[in-house]
Chain A
Amino acid sequence: MTKLNVLRYEIRRLISTKQYLYSLLIISLLTYDVLNRLLIGGFKGTAPFSPWSYSEFLALVISVFSVIVILMWINVFSEKEQKVRGIIFSAPITQSRYYLIKGIAIGLAASLILLVIIILSFGYYYLVYGFSDYGTFIMPMVYFICPSFLISLGLGLFIGKINVKILYLLIPLFLVIGLFNLGLPGLLDLTGGSYLFDHFNYLNLEVIEKYTLTKEFLCSRMILIVLGLCLFGIGCRIKQ
């Protein structure tokens, strides 16, 4: 099989499982619930369709999304999968290339879930508020999706290579950090939820209207993105 064919095969295998469909179902319900129950009054008084509200929406949904990514990695490292591995690749393939393909497949399959989240939210905004200025959501997406997505992707591979059991511990980590305001600082605030919650009170109106985030926060997001990519790179090369 060519690399592209292998990738296509891997993605198809990922998205045709019942757990993938279930993930889509759960995350869609969550999307609707967050928008319709938690953010209907807007985040901290901003409009329900403000970039701030959208950031909060993403921060909440992304914690469960990260759990889905981790679950995908757990399956890659499960014993069953490891046995299958030999059968799929008739041609000899290096280990790092194998995990690179797996990683890309997970990344793409997960992106598809993200796409569903985004389309659903856009649809919700259009139907409920007649709002369609989706351009204002681009920056929230960059700041609140990329870091935790890449961290879950990179950390999942990295830790999975070391010990699949530790991988399980990432699930409570993402859930607790993402959904419960522990007041975590900078890098530990993986989803950015604590930041939104704690620092919003000190902002003035102008900042709120312009959607300005602090430098420290942007730095921490950059570091998380780079860290996620590095972990992924290193993870591919670690010998099992």
Chain B
Amino acid sequence: MRDRVELIWNEVKLLFKLKMVIVLILLTIIFMIIGLGAVNSSDNYALHNMRQTSRIIALGSARYGALFGSVLFGMMTIILLNRDQRKGSKDLIEANLEYYQLIIVRIISLILLVIGTILLGMLVVFIVQTWIYQTVFELRIYLFSYGVVFFPAILFAILLTSGVYLITDNSDMSLLSLAGLYFLSLTSNNYLLNWVQTHALLYSDFASIRPVTSFILYNRLFWVSISLGVLALGLLFKRRYQRGIYESMLINGQKLFIPLAVVGLLCLALLIYSHEPLINSADSALNIEEPVINERVILTKILPDITFYPDKGEMKAVVNYIFCKELAEERIELITNTGLQITSVKVNGLPTGFEYLKGTDRIQVDLADGEQVELEVTYEGRIKYPHVSTVAGYISENSIYLLEQSHWIFEPLTARDEQVEIIGAVTLPAELTAVPVGEITAIKEEAGQKTWEYMLKTRSLELGFFAAEYTQKIFNVAGIEVQLFTSPRHEAYLFQKDLEHYITGIVEYYTQVIGEYAFLDQPLKIVESSLYKTGGHSTANVITIAEYVFNREFTNSTSMEEWRFYQDIELLAHEIAHQWWGSGVEVTVNTPWSSEGLACYMSNKYMEAEFGEEVSFMLSSYWESSVRLMQGKYYYQHPNQVGLLKKDMQTQIATEKLKTELYSIMPLQLLKAEKILGKEQFLQSLARLYKQNLFQSVSYQEFFAETNLTKEAITLD
């Protein structure tokens, strides 16, 4: 044992004598530093200009380090092993070792070199961050990023290249294989294949990092087994002196643990891949086909009682649904989240069976005869995502974010009463501030757990839930109680830019132009959400806005930065507009007609009122360019070709088209209508439309009837 430690130590010392190794270390560290600024060169412009805390910049550094380091160290491995082969016999005699032991020694010393490089790099990054970025260096975040993203990437590169080198006995082939795997990692949409840089771009500044790290860890698990499996395969095929591949294998295979390791590790990898636990690609969110609704059954009431276990990322639910129907028995479907295991289903108190519809996240349940039926579903577990970058809900240590689309409360596909009554309760650790929909009716505390009871009447069944360590600000605008929930970490910016002023302005503007807020008896809740879901969302009387809006750092007041700020305010205005169009008045979707068009248009009018026509014009010109961009697209011009594509590609193209229609074409049409009627008159007719249809829905036809316009009149040229 001591001999081996000494041997490894000698190897490490030998490595440091190579000039190439010094260059390699320097280059890797340079990339670690360049990576600190990665956020500001990401494709999503909304992420630029965030205040650069450790949590925002650490992952970029690890990713860039991994991107460059993996190829560099993979190459170094080949150079070293290649050298071994030439000088191998000499060393073997000197060290009195078997060849494969020498390989292991070389690999271990290389890994030690990698660890040294990362530690040295971390020191340099620490200096750069404290002196240049002038923010606190959060060791924990860096240790995780370097330990789980950066280091494994290089480790895999070393193991994979040496494995392939031993199999092929050829350095070119090994390097090309590395290049191929590298290519796969950089271009794949499947997070399991992103072995170099991983799928994650950055962590939230205030919420837990778990929503991304669980994917990273699973990815690492997968590649540990693959790369070790390939190395074992290499040891199996490693050439014996003057013997061919087959003969060598027979000799190597006599050490039984080698073939056993090959089979075991590769089977394990296969198992890990096929039993991926975090994603459900059959999620309803990704399904274009419309679900079938049983119109003979009417949902009248939901009583959800949910307990969260943030530390474990889990929840437990007992949900009661009350339905009205004719006397006869009926079969209904519920959309579930497949990460949540159903423990029992009861109809009128009696246990009953249920069945998953194949390849979907829906279950079928039979409701017994009788005019009123109570269905109780009990389930528990973790929320699954539809796709690694489509976050509809997560539960983590200090942040819970559950949109209705995550189906954390299973959604029955039935008709609904005019106003479905929701009487719910959530229980979670006392340090978290819960923000349920509707209004809170009671808060009870017991043994460090708080239970929040809430109530809501809703047409659209929008049941989101949000919680984190928030600070709450309450202020009154035009008779509305506005509750603002933000992270205490972002208070300075909130104050500096006086975001409260803009929120007040937005609410006042809509009240004045469109009409009184529909839910004056309820508070309007504005919640800061993590950047795992960018943009904003409006659920019943709750609005969520991604954290970057509350966490900017504008350093050199360029027009780009000014623009970023306008877009932030526009996002706020858009989501608040949904309280009028979407929550107050439901807008019946008839593409391009939907609440999105009205929300885009209204927020643009607010921007005009607050910042002037120049700003609102520039913001609306974005709609025009996105329409032109869509019209130029090949698959838009040749819809008959779309059918030839794979299903996910078809969905992507259809979604892009739909988005442009809802978010760009419709607002442009509304602008055109405004031009025809005159701004004042057009806004007045919108106000009438709002008043007449409050708590109901409004269709495209009703819009035309009210404005005396036709489809043709507002169609874009």
Contacts and interface: CB of A to CB of B under 8 A. Distances in A.
Interface of A: 18-19, 22-23, 26, 29-30, 34, 37-38, 40-42, 45-48, 50, 60, 64, 67-68, 71, 74-75, 79, 165, 168-169, 171-172, 175-176, 179-180, 182-183, 204-205, 208-209
Nearest to B173: A22
Interface of B: 19-20, 23, 27, 41, 67-68, 71-72, 75, 79, 86, 168, 170, 172-173, 175-177, 179-180, 182-183, 186-187, 628-636, 638, 645-646, 649, 652-653
Contact of A42 (B79, B173, B186, B635): B635
Q: Which of A22, A34, A41 has the most CB of B within 10 A?
A: A41
B112 to A, nearest CB: 21
Contacts, number: 103
B83 to A, nearest CB: 10
Contacts of B71: 171-172, 175-176
A45 B634 contact: yes
B635 A41 contact: yes
Contact of A23 (B176, B182, B635): B176
B20 A165 contact: yes
Nearest to A209: B632
A38 B188 CA distance: 9
Given A165-B20, A171-B71, A175-B179, A41 B170 contact: no
A29 B180 CA distance: 9
Nearest to A80: B86
B183 to A, nearest CB: 6
A18 B634 contact: no
B653 A71 contact: no
A71 B172 contact: yes
Contacts of B635: 41-42, 45
Q: Which of B20, B630, B634 has the most CB of A within 10 A?
A: B634
A214 B180 CA distance: 31
Contact of B68 (A22, A34, A176): A176
Contacts of A176: 67-68, 71
A182 B638 CA distance: 33
Contacts of B649: 40-41
A67 B633 CA distance: 34
A41 B187 CA distance: 14
B186 A179 contact: yes
A223 B19 CA distance: 32
A19 B176 contact: yes
Contact of A208 (B41, B79, B183, B632): B632
Given A40-B646, A169-B23, A176-B71, A205 B632 contact: yes
Nearest to A36: B646
Nearest to B638: A47
B183 A179 contact: yes
Given A19-B173, A19-B176, A41-B649, A172 B183 contact: no
B187 A179 contact: yes
Contacts of A34: 187
Contacts of A37: 187
Contacts of A204: 628
Contacts of A179: 182-183, 186-187
Contacts of B20: 165, 168
Nearest to B650: A41
Contact of B175 (A30, A48, A67, A165): A67
B67 A180 contact: yes
28 contacts: A18-B168, A18-B170, A19-B173, A19-B176, A22-B173, A23-B172, A26-B176, A30-B183, A34-B187, A40-B645, A42-B633, A45-B630, A45-B634, A45-B635, A46-B633, A48-B634, A64-B179, A64-B183, A79-B86, A165-B19, A165-B20, A165-B79, A169-B72, A171-B179, A172-B68, A176-B67, A180-B186, A183-B41
Contacts of A68: 176
A18 B629 contact: no
Contacts of A180: 67, 186
